[in-house]
Chains A and B, each alone.
Chain A
Amino acid sequence: EIVMTQSPATLSVSPGERATLSCRASQSVSSNLAWYQQKPGQAPRLLIYGASTRATGIPARFSGSGSGTEFTLTISSLQSEDFAVYYCQQYNNWPAYTFGQGTKLEIK
């Protein structure tokens, strides 16, 4: 099983600032990585797939980068609606899909 490790567990950032979230895979997943946003009481929403491609309707302030074992989700200028929990998911080793444990992005 590929273990996905996200850091930090909690990130405190002020609105308007930049947020950088990390995801590390225990072995290479190439670019087969997705990012999701989950707000309290809601289902996860796809943000990024293929490590760097924004899903339909996702604002340009969200960007993904990385390949192999190291990945980053960057939110360039935080809006109030961006404070949520973010998960990464690998699909290189399908169907043994695995998710990270999440990073909670909170208002500083």
Chain B
Amino acid sequence: QVTLRESGPALVKPTQTLTLTCTFSGFSLSTSGMCVSWIRQPPGKALEWLALIDWDDDKYYSTSLKTRLTISKDTSKNQVVLTMTNMDPVDTATYYCARMMVAAGSYNWFDPWGQGTLVTVSS
């Protein structure tokens, strides 16, 4: 059974750096084709893709946020870490991590997702 769980601070101040950890089980990020992605959802709003890291340590970022994001993995711990710098109240959202499996060379859909962690940005 594949599970993912996000962890990190519930509250950060504006201008601070957010660090979130996704701890997963049921698969290995050293297995060819495996990826983990981060997606966020502001309260009452739609989903926004943020970043992805694959088994080969290739990293992809949202164009609009790439200067603020860093994604990394620790295969031995089954963890993926996302950092986001210069946090602002508009970054208040539930942050999800999700698995992706590459198929036929295509980086495609997200399944399954973690339960999400709500991060509030406020002074």
Chain A positions within 8 Å of B, measured between CB atoms, are 1, 32, 34, 36, 42-46, 49, 55, 87, 89, 91, 94-102
Contact = CB atoms under 8 A, between A and B. Distances in A.
Contact of B115 (A43, A46, A87, A101): A43
Interface residues of B, number: 23
Interface in B55-69: 60-63
B38 to A, nearest CB: 11
A90 B63 CA distance: 16
B46 A91 contact: no
Given A99-B46, A99-B47, A102-B46, A94 B106 contact: yes
B108 A46 contact: no
Contacts of B115: 42-43
Interface string B57-98: 000111100000000000000000000000000000000101
B113 A44 contact: yes
18 contacts: A1-B63, A34-B108, A36-B110, A43-B114, A43-B116, A44-B96, A44-B110, A44-B113, A46-B112, A49-B108, A49-B111, A87-B47, A89-B47, A91-B108, A95-B61, A98-B49, A101-B46, A102-B46
Identify whether the interface residues of A are mostly helix, strand, loop, or mixed: loop
Contacts, number: 60
Contact of A95 (B60, B96, B114, B116): B60
Contacts of B29: none
B96 A43 contact: yes
Q: Which 4 residue pairs across A and B have the least CB separation, nearest first?
A: A95-B60, A43-B113, A46-B111, A34-B109
B52 interface: yes
B69 to A, nearest CB: 12
A86 to B, nearest CB: 11
Nearest to B109: A34
Contacts of A91: 106-109
Nearest to A49: B109
Contacts of B114: 43
A45 to B, nearest CB: 7
